Structure 1
Amino acid sequence: MPHRFSRLLPHRDDYADLPRSWRRDILAGVTVGVVALPLALAFGISSGVGAAAGLITAVVAGLVAAVFGGSHVQVSGPTGAMAVVLAPIVAQHGLGSIALVTVAAGLLVLAAGVTGLGRAVTFIPWPVIEGFTLGIATIIFLQQVPAAFAQQPPAGERTLPAAITVVAQADWTAAAKTLGVVTVVALLMVTLPRLHRAIPESLTAVIVATVLVSVLHIPVAAIGELPSHLPAPVLPHADLGAMRTLLGAALAIAALAAIESLLSARVAATMSPTGPYAPDRELVGQGLASVASGVFGGMPATGAIARTAVNVRSGARTRVAAIVHSLVLLAVVYLATGPVSTIPLAALAGVLMVTSFRMISAATVRKILRSTRSDALTFVLTAVVTVCFDLIEAVEIGIVVAAFFALRSIARRSSVVREELPGPALPGDDEIALLRLDGAMFFGAAERISQAIVDGEHPHTSVVIIRMSQLGMLDATGAHTLAEIATELEARGVTVIIKGVRPEHAELLANVGVFESLRHENHLLDSLDDAIDHARTHVAHRPH
């Protein structure tokens, strides 16, 4: 037990590559810090918590997750998905609820890591993950529409109808200015990487837009005043009544934080030569990061796929890169909040609009839509539910739909086949039903067994041999169904013989009472020849 918990804590081995890679790690950290600055501000504003909270989250949570997390190259902070979940919570419960929800969600994620739930994310099907990503990207884009059109989002409306309302009621004289800023930022972000890969396009685009707005005296809304230092840590007031109403929100945030962080760490592990990540330790790190963020006045944090990808591409090999990213942003808090506060909101909206498009891979969407109809439907349904309803509901519905199709696929591959008895036919053989169970045995197979025993060609069956040697999958429901069928047949006077039980199924069959339902212990046999010979003795002794 102590060893299990020690695996969840920071270790000297985390920095084993540092003597060889420290220069690259520092350079990667500075690069990611530059990329993260406009995103942290934008996601803070987009969530309704404010630009300052976004910046604090990137500094505090980024640092804690880098030290305690399970990935060497993951970069954490505020993300688009989290902003999407937080916006309705802020609207419904007010800004005061965020600290409490953030700390509670962090504690839930921490508990998930300590109890070993980190591997659960591997069960989320690929079409669900991609549908979820497409839905989040769409919402992030739609959330920027009010800022792009120089309007406040309508209170209490969902993202899609709110965006439609804003466009329908646009004041085009004001909107022309903000849309111009968005266009400049988008064009720069698209063209700058083509000029040189090393240019930090989002930061450069924001700086250019800010300078243009200032020089040309364009009247557009700016971020406004930011704190010039980190606030003192304060534990949120835990009001039991408030906690009860916010528990659902905390669970939703914790689920999202766990899923997004583990997915990001998994992607990073495939991109980086630093090797695999520790999923349970990653959850511990992200849980502690959100708790720390909430205490300092930030918002819930998760692993950020885009910033992590920049980190890896910039040559990061150890956690020092993500630590440096947080220190760069900390320097901004103490040294540069004046210039940062003049950044136009429309410039950040432009950054997020371009970011939302980059989240979607057209090639991936094509692959899923061309795969199977069930996977394509799961993908589309998850994306639609994400945009129209709720992120966590989308993942839940996506998993349920994917599980339904997976079960249907397994059920189709499972079959109950009535076979002819091998060798020359003997009198009375037409009363023996030899059934072979293939594939998987669960609730869907019960009816097929009944149909195979009594069909038009075999009206009088007195002995049933059930061959189980070809059965791959057996669950408790399938075993219970088998016990019920055996009990029912025996009650009707039909002898049941079971042949070829696989060792891995024996204990389950015994526990649910399949063997007890047989008339005699001799009716459990390993050889087909023995089973047929025994069945023929029963037929021979029957009165005709």
Structure 2
Amino acid sequence: MTTFAFKPKLLSTLRHYNKQQFTTDLLAGIIVGIVALPLAIAFGIASGVTPEKGIITAIVAGLIISLLGGSKVQIGGPTGAFIIIIYGIIQQYGFEGLTIATLMAGVFLILFGVLHLGTIIKYIPYPIVVGFTSGIALTIFTTQIKDLFGLTMESVPSDFIEKWGAYIGDFGTIDWWSTAVGIGSVAVIATWPMVAKYNNLLKKLPGSLIAIIVMTVAALLLKQYAGVMSIETIGDRFSISNQLPDAEMPALSWDVIKGLVSPAITIAILGAIESLLSATVADGVIGDRHDSNTELIAQGVANLASPIFGGIPATGAIARTMTNINNGGRTPVAGIVHAAVLLLIFLFLMPLAQYIPMACLAGVLVIVSYNMSGWRSFASIMKNPKSDVIVLSVTFLLTVIFDLTIAIEVGLICACLLFMRRMAETTDVKVISDEIDPEEEQSDFQMGNLEHLTIPEGVEVYEINGPYFFGAGNKFEEIMASLRGQRPKVRIIRMRKVPFVDSTGIHNLTNLCTMSQNDGIQVVLSGVNPTVQAVLHKAGFDKMLGEENICSHINIALERAKELV
């Protein structure tokens, strides 16, 4: 039995910590904090909450994930993947419903870690991950069209298709100044790496921050000296506060909890996938190995704490984690510094956020959605086997047209069904009628004793090659049905290549043995491995067939068949 172990990486890294490493972590933490600022604001607004809630999430969750996490370099906070599901929960249940769903997701994440499900979550099929990630990216892009072009439409439909219909119908209300700010922001972010690549200082500054500074100053100048009043800012839509919220628990009711189980599980699964994916990518860069179960527990605690202080769901952020690594961060101290930097900015500079144009934030999220889309991976999977294409397409379309909860559920069901079909196809059952060729049986014969084994008259040999579960069982039944007219005295079933057998396989095998015995035919099992034999013993096959008819080798089984004949 595996023992539970909660081992935050902070504890092990501090044992050999030194001043030089602290200096490097301090610099990395400051840079990551600056990078996280515009993203936290943008993710908060896009999720349907106020900008300061995005920053509070980055502070609280980022601090806890670094303190308790199983990765040395993971940076936690709000991410684009949660935008759509958060927005949907708020629309249906209000912000209090989101708070409860996030708390529930935190509990689920802790349970995932305690139950050692960290490694299992990594096995979620890649086409599902790409499908819902690409779907989220397209949905985020769609939600930003109104602000990107400054459309003055009164309300935006929640449905994807209706939303685009409304955009097309109201495109005549476009504000060209806002459009210039939005497109300009995209251009600045896209070209900044090329501009800054020759200067080490500029290279460390994120393009999103440069775009916000440039476009905010431009909007203020246009308003002051050109009388341009149509560029909407954060302050026009939200009341900005730099006051730290008090810890507050929401009122819990069983009816609300029941209604929020599905979205809470989706938040938990999505958070687990993204955080472990981020930690795995980071491991490959720094040559380390994260503790996935400890990481899930840390993510769970972070999602318990964040909503209590008015925040939203959080997880590991790949882009910020890579920024941390690229700037020298190698211990959780960098993540702690990142949270401290955001706290200082929140306390002393938050009122300045009211001047940021909404079109500029839309431009930031357009770039986020592009980077998140993974279109190269999407195109690559479309060249894969048809089953992968089906899973990818179904998950992508359901994410876009319906919601992420349905997409993940249906995507997993499709993946499981297609996997079971593939497994069934890998198992075959063949009939050996005359003799067994030793050239194909070398693993079963001792060197120097290779001779053809003749099958006695009145004996049939069937070989199962692969797992014996429902798919193989059905194949076996079909073969037996086609040979129903033949009446041998003994049926030998070779199981040397059967690694496991499930309950359906046992049921089918039991039916075969019963029907054979009713027809006066004795069944002999050959080459049963210890694991399968233990399962068959529990099912009572030793009593049904007799111990002497469960043989370890084909030679023994043939000798037994000769006796019976």
Above 0.5 in TM-score?
Answer: yes
Write the distance in 2 (CA, Å) between the matches of 1:59 and 1:73. Answer: 16
Change in CA separation of 1:18 and 1:209 when aligned onto 2, cut-off 3 Å: farther
1:240-293 deviation line (CA, Å, top 9, x unaligned): 3433333333232222222222222222222223x1111111111111111111
1:172-216 deviation line (CA, Å, top 9, x unaligned): 342x22221110000001111011241420100111111111101
Letter in 1 for 2:493: I
Pairs within 5 Å for 1:353-432: 353-422=366-435, 429=457, 431-432=458-459
Q: What secondary structure, in the 3-state scheme, does the structure 2 residue paired with 1:359 have?
A: helix
State the shift of 1:8 in Å. Answer: 4.2
State the shift of 1:108 in Å. Answer: 2.3
Structure 1 stretch displaced more, 160-169 or 62-71: 160-169
Q: 2:40 aligned with 1:13, yes or no?
A: no
Write the distance in 2 (CA, Å) between the matches of 1:527 and 1:455. Answer: 27
Structure 1 stretch displaced more, 449-458 or 497-506: 449-458
Write the distance in 1 (CA, Å) between the matches of 2:168 and 2:193. Answer: 31
Equivalent of residue 247 in structure 1, options 255, 261, 267: 261
Letter in 1 for 2:233: A
Q: What secondary structure, in the 3-state scheme, does the structure 1 residue paired with 2:405 have?
A: helix
Q: What secondary structure, in the 3-state scheme, does the structure 2 residue paired with 1:230 have?
A: coil
Equivalent of residue 501 in structure 1, options 528, 531, 550: 528
Write the distance in 2 (CA, Å) between the matches of 1:137 and 1:169. Answer: 23
Contact 1:147 1:349 in 2 (8 A): yes
What's the counterpart of residue 200 of structure 2?
A: none
Q: 2:490 aligned with 1:463, yes or no?
A: yes
Pairs within 5 Å for 1:97-496: 97-150=97-150, 151=152, 154=155, 157-174=158-175, 176-197=176-197, 198=203, 199-217=205-223, 218=228, 219-224=230-235, 225-273=239-287, 275-422=288-435, 429=457, 431-453=458-480, 455=482, 459-496=486-523
Q: Over aligned residue pairs, what C-alpha RMSD do you find?
A: 2.3
Change in CA separation of 1:94 and 1:152 when aligned onto 2, cut-off 3 Å: farther
State the shift of 1:40 in Å. Answer: 0.6
Contact 1:416 1:438 in 2 (8 A): yes
Letter in 2 for 1:66: S
Change in CA separation of 1:243 and 1:365 when aligned onto 2, cut-off 3 Å: closer
User: Sequence identity of aligned pairs in percent?
Assistant: 33
Q: What secondary structure, in the 3-state scheme, does the structure 2 residue paired with 1:436 have?
A: strand
What's the counterpart of residue 542 of structure 1?
A: none
Letter in 2 for 1:509: L
Runs of 4 or more above 6 Å deviation: none
Q: 2:542 aligned with 1:515, yes or no?
A: yes
Change in CA separation of 1:315 and 1:17 when aligned onto 2, cut-off 3 Å: farther
Write the distance in 2 (CA, Å) between the matches of 1:444 and 1:425. Answer: 30
Equivalent of residue 553 in structure 2, options 527, 539, 543: 527
Write the distance in 2 (CA, Å) between the matches of 1:376 and 1:310. Answer: 33
Contact 2:57 2:306 in 1 (8 A): yes
Write the distance in 2 (CA, Å) between the matches of 1:497 and 1:243. Answer: 55
Q: What secondary structure, in the 3-state scheme, does the structure 2 residue paired with 1:496 have?
A: strand
- 5+ residue gaps, structure 2, are 198-202, 436-451
Change in CA separation of 1:104 and 1:482 when aligned onto 2, cut-off 3 Å: same
Contact 1:105 1:251 in 2 (8 A): yes
TM-score, normalised on structure 1? 0.92
Write the distance in 1 (CA, Å) between the matches of 2:271 and 2:64. Answer: 15
Write the distance in 2 (CA, Å) between the matches of 1:456 and 1:85. Answer: 56
State the shift of 1:23 in Å. Answer: 2.1
- 5+ residue gaps, structure 1, are 540-544
Change in CA separation of 1:440 and 1:244 when aligned onto 2, cut-off 3 Å: closer
Change in CA separation of 1:89 and 1:29 when aligned onto 2, cut-off 3 Å: same
State the shift of 1:133 in Å. Answer: 1.4
Contact 1:32 1:311 in 2 (8 A): yes
1:33-89 deviation line (CA, Å, top 9, x unaligned): 111111111111111122111111011111111111111111111111111101011
1:389-424 deviation line (CA, Å, top 9, x unaligned): 221322222222222222222211211111134358
Q: What secondary structure, in the 3-state scheme, does the structure 1 residue paired with 2:431 have?
A: strand
